[in-house]
Each structure stands twice: as C-alpha cells, then as structure tokens.
With several copies, the nearest count.
Chain A
Amino acid sequence: MSTPVTTVMPDRDPLWSRLRAQLRNLAPFATLIALVALFSSLSPSFATWGNLANILQQVSITAIIAVGLTFVILCAEIDLSVASVANATGILLAFLTVQDASVNIANLPLPGGLSIPLALAGCLMLGAVTAFGVTRIGIPSFIMTLAMLQIGNGIGALLVRGQIAYTVPDLVTTLGSGSIGPVPWIVVVASTVLLTGHLVLTYTRFGRYVYMVGGNREAAEHSGVGVRAIIGAAMLISAACSGLAGMLGVAYFGSAQQNQFDNYLLDAISAVVVGGTSLFGGQGGIGNTIIGLLVLGVLNNGLDHVRMDSFLKILIRGLVLLLALVINVYAQRLRSHARAAG
C-alpha cells in the first residue's frame, strides 16, 4: 500500500466554524428569544416565575410524545398515531382502575397498580402492530399510522363508551398532577424522558443507527445495520412515549375521555420540526425538539397573556409557525453554504 503522505489536520478556526455549523439549531433558538422578548414587553404577567412553571407544565405532555416522535422522524418515518395511542392508553388505564360509583362504565378494575403495566403493554402492542405493518408488510408509515390513528380512536371509544372516567392509580395521579415543592412532577418526568432520549440518541450505538438509517437507509443496510429492527424499535419507542404521555395526561387533566388528546398530534409534529429536525431524517435531535417545544409553548401561552381578539389568535399562531419554518429553512441554507465554503 502507498506510504502515508498526508497527516491528519485539525480544524482551522474551531469556534467560528462550530458556530456556523450550529446555525440550524440557532435559528429556532433566536425565534424563541424573540417570542419571549415580545410577550414580556406586551404583558407584565408573562415573564414571571409562576408563568414559567405554567409553560413548562403545559409542554410536558407534548414533550413526552415528541421524544418518541423525534426517534421516528430521525429515521425518516412519521407517526400520525401518537395522539390517538396516548388517548387509547389513558382510557385503557382508567378502564382498568376502580372508578367512582357515579361513573357508568362497564370496566374491569384491577387491584393495585396492576393497571399501569397492562396499559403500557397495551400501547406497546399498538406500537408493535405499527412496527409490523411498516417494517414487515411494508406499508408506508404515513398511511399505516393514519390507519392506527383511527384504530386507536376506535379502541378508546369502545372502552369509555362516551363516558368520562376520572380515577387512575395513585402513582399516576401523583406523577401527572402532583408536585415536589414548587416543581410539578410532570415536569420532572418530561425532563427525565427528554434527557433519556437525548442520551440514547447521542451516546448509544442504537442512537447512532437511528441517525444513519434516517440519513441513508440503503447505506445503513449495506453496512449491516438491521434497518427494519431500528425502525421498528423507533415505532415502539414512539408508542411507549405516547402511552406514558396518555397516562400522565389523564392524571393531569383529571379525566379520561374520547378525543381528549387530538391536538397533540399537530403540536408534537410542529414541535419537532419547528425545532429544526429534518422530516427527511438523519438531522436534528432532542435538543432541537426542546427548543421547538418551548417556541410553541411560549407562543400558545403568550397569546393568552396578551389582550387580543380571540378570533385573531388562531391566525396569528399559524403565521408565527410559518415564520419559524421559513427562518429554519433559510438558516439551514446558510449553514450548508458555510459548510461548503469551510
């Protein structure tokens, strides 16, 4: 073989080039800062500690769902069933818990906390069906999860039969609606899930495979990565996260009913992509998702603090979302220019 004529060189200007490489991540961050500044100037009640706690609490459920969705989207797949699985799991949990006499559901109460593992098993089963459909049968995830969305809704409807159930096991009630000191438990749980997701994606072999599968599926396959196993695992993780969010959500809202989680689908997808994770896979991560969550959380919360025509709010939310996306795209373009020039 040829003699080594070249030596390995370090980066020329590490700080500046690192910054530029982070542009994709910086753009949503800038959006976040801008929104915070805007709402702080518009309303004195916005920039308070109490409201910060509010925001964190409000994004917690979305956050848990978004972690699973981040795995799926990094694999260049999509999961449209997250909200529906969350709903079905929450309802299943309540269905398996003793309800107040006033609640009129033919449910199957189980002793103790047994309903928790069973509900989790339920959502994992839904995830397994999705994984099977996508990886084995080969149905594109977009339509497979579209069908699962309806199946999840169907299961929820069948169990709760238009009624509302209120009681879930104590453990879940505590985690969903209790606090330790000033910090709501649900924020703690969401942070833990986010952190775990980040660690898995960044520091484990599985996490690397997720990025590689999303980056170039064929190349991953040719490198001996079990692509179908990775995608299946991402689908299962997504179902598990949704299930957890559904259980805590029932405790948080204090009730389990049909269609309760519907808008978490768009919220979670928006959070992931506004944060800058690419829908084409392979780029982004939990850090991005956190920024995306905060952008949307601040936007939703901030608009409530500003006196404004209620009917205008919906439009403004849409416009800000669009603006965030445009900024993202331009930032990404700048970044790839920077990289090509570097």
Chain B
Amino acid sequence: AEMGRSAKPLRAAFSNAGLQATWCAQGKSAAEYWGKLFNVDVTWFDGELNATRQRGAIDNMASQRWDFVAIQAFGIGTLAAPVRKMIDAGIPVIDLDTLIAPLDQLNVHSFLAPDNEFMGASVTEALMQAIRGEGTIIMTQGALGHTGAQGRARGFESVVKRYPKVEVLDTTPGDWDVTKVARIWDTHLTKYPKISAAYFHNDDMALAAYNVMRAKGRTDIKIGGCDAMPPALQAVLDGRMHATVRNPSCRIHGGAIMAGVAAVVAGEKTGEGGIPKHVITDGPVVTKDNAHGMAWMQKQFLI
C-alpha cells in the first residue's frame, strides 16, 4: 500500500514493558521521532515493568479513542481483555516484541518482533567461533518466565549441541537483575577456574558481570550479550564484550508507526495482501566490525 506522511494529525497510543528498561526508553524515542515525521501524535502509557500497572494503563487506554495503538506486553496474557475491546472497536492494534496473547486468540493488526531463538543462536555461534569450538561456557538467563529469555535459551542450546567439546557449566537465571547477576558471577568465578565464554540474555547483565570479572582479573572470558544498545556497542568496540546482537528497538517501534499510518491513511489490510500477521524484525550480530555503523543507525532511529 502507499505510505507517507498523514495529512491530518493522527492520535496513537503506545505502551511498552517499562521505561525503566533502556530498550523500551529507546523505543519511545524512536516512536516519537517517526511519529513526528509521519504526523502522528504519540501518547505514552508506561508499563512500569509491572503487569498490574500496565493492565491499569491499558484499561485507561482502551477507554479513549485512538487512530491506532501499539503495545509491548510486560506479562503475556495480562492485557488481552482491554486489547480485545480496542480491536472490537476497530482500532488497529500493533503488537510489539512480545505476544499480548497467543496469535490465534487475539486478532492484532500485526506482530512485529525479532526472533529470539535466532538472536540467541547467532550470538552463541559468534562466541563458539571466538573460542574455536572448545572450552567452557556459562549462560546467564533472563527471567525464566520471559518468552524472550526462553527463545534465547533455545537458540543457545541449539548451537551448543553442535559443539561437543564445549561444556556448559551453568545456566542460573539472573532475572534481568544486575544485582543478582553480580552475586551469581561472584560464585561462578570462584567455582570455575576456567571459563571460556559467557552468554547473557541482555547487555545490561553482561556489563554488570564484566564488572565482577574485571574486579577478579578474569577479563579473558568472551562475553556475548543481546540488544546492542549504545553502551554495549561501546563495550564491543573497546573489547570488553566480544559480541552482541541487535534487538532492533527503533525498527520495531518505528515500524509500528508506519504500519499504523498505512492502516489508517491507506487502509492497509492485515494478513494476505496487506501487512503480514507476523513480521520478523531481526537485527544482525554486532562485533567490532559493524559496531560503528550500528551506532550511527541507532542515532537515526533506523534499527
């Protein structure tokens, strides 16, 4: 369908898991940036990394009129009722990053999300190359209930399986909590004299663990992360991290603006002939080679 700036100003409501998370905060900036270009006025409903608060916010969102809506759920399934109400009212709802509810249960306009399994696999693969397929590795998972974490863990395992000389030492979850990660890594470093590589389900945890490693003089561990936010790019550039993979916040949030404008202005349909029900928005693995370019693209809210 034809795309472009909307002639009349559109009102859109956005909500993501919680602005405490850098990834979400960057998404907000991207949505607002692209919204301005496309003449969309974005109203934000913060999920506060809290299922109840986000539900309250989405209830309030659903009691108002919007041209379109984009939501990343903090707790899967918790937002289904008010989202259904908006869909029934004919508002295009774009689902970001995490399922609001299983796709067959909720008729969202489109689901824009990266493939977590792919992200987990590709970074793990990069780590395997770095240690030449031999040695020991630790995975520090996100919260076990998080679908993203579950996907990344699956990707990790699918790759590790192919390297028989690599031993997985530990997969204790860090729950996205940097204080817990620091504690777990204290123990890992004491318990395991030789760790070749470590894969973290996000960069924040990776950087927190790096701090512990540096304090204990164990900077030889190859670190892989996920998200590729600017501080992680910096870490990749100066060698603290080996690799990370871009979870393209700007692409997802900016994409939601474009999908919404197309739906409202050009009447783009959902599914066949229009926007696919499920759009995979993967980003690349980031190493020293492409980190600079990645940083530039993020500054332009492109990825």
What is the interface of chain A, defined by CB distance below 8 A to chain B?
Answer: 43, 45, 48, 50-51, 54, 57-58, 100, 102-104, 157, 160-164, 166, 177-179, 184, 249, 252-255, 257-264, 300-301, 304-305, 307, 310-311, 313-314
Contacts and interface: CB of A to CB of B under 8 A. Distances in A.
Interface stretch (B122-130, B174-182, B266-274): B174-182
Q: Which of A45, A164, A257 has the most CB of B within 10 A?
A: A164
B190 A50 contact: yes
B215 A179 contact: yes
Going nearest first, the 6 A-B pairs with the smallest beta carbon separation are A162-B25, A162-B144, A255-B77, A254-B211, A102-B230, A258-B20
A179 B81 CA distance: 12
Interface stretch (B2-10, B48-56, B158-166, B255-263): B48-56
Nearest to A184: B215
19 contacts: A51-B63, A51-B187, A54-B60, A58-B59, A100-B231, A162-B20, A164-B76, A166-B231, A253-B208, A259-B49, A300-B56, A301-B60, A301-B183, A301-B187, A304-B60, A304-B183, A305-B60, A305-B64, A313-B46
B145 A258 contact: yes
Interface string B16-35: 00011110110010000000
B38 interface: no
B43 interface: yes
Contacts, number: 176
Contact of A257 (B75, B182, B211): B75
A278 to B, nearest CB: 27
Nearest to A62: B52
B230 A162 contact: no
B78 A254 contact: yes
A253 B76 CA distance: 9
B45 interface: yes
Nearest to B214: A177
A177 B217 CA distance: 12
A91 B78 CA distance: 14
B226 to A, nearest CB: 15
Contacts of B53: 263, 300
Given A54-B60, A162-B24, A263 B52 contact: yes
B205 to A, nearest CB: 10
B77 A253 contact: yes
A102 B295 contact: yes
B241 to A, nearest CB: 13
Q: Is the interface of B mostly helix, strand, loop or mixed?
A: helix
Nearest to B64: A45
Given A51-B190, A102-B233, A162-B145, A253 B60 contact: no
Interface in B94-153: 101-102, 143-145, 150
B204 interface: yes
Contact of B56 (A100, A163, A184, A304): A304
A135 B159 CA distance: 55
Nearest to A104: B230
A58 B186 contact: yes
Contacts of B180: 263
Contacts of A313: 46
Nearest to A186: B215
A257 B20 contact: yes
A310 B46 contact: yes
B56 A177 contact: no
A45 B101 CA distance: 28
A57 B81 CA distance: 12
A163 B147 CA distance: 9
Nearest to B51: A260
A304 B187 contact: yes
Contacts of B60: 51, 54, 301, 304-305
A244 to B, nearest CB: 16
B87 interface: no
A161 to B, nearest CB: 6
A254 B230 contact: no
B179 A260 contact: yes
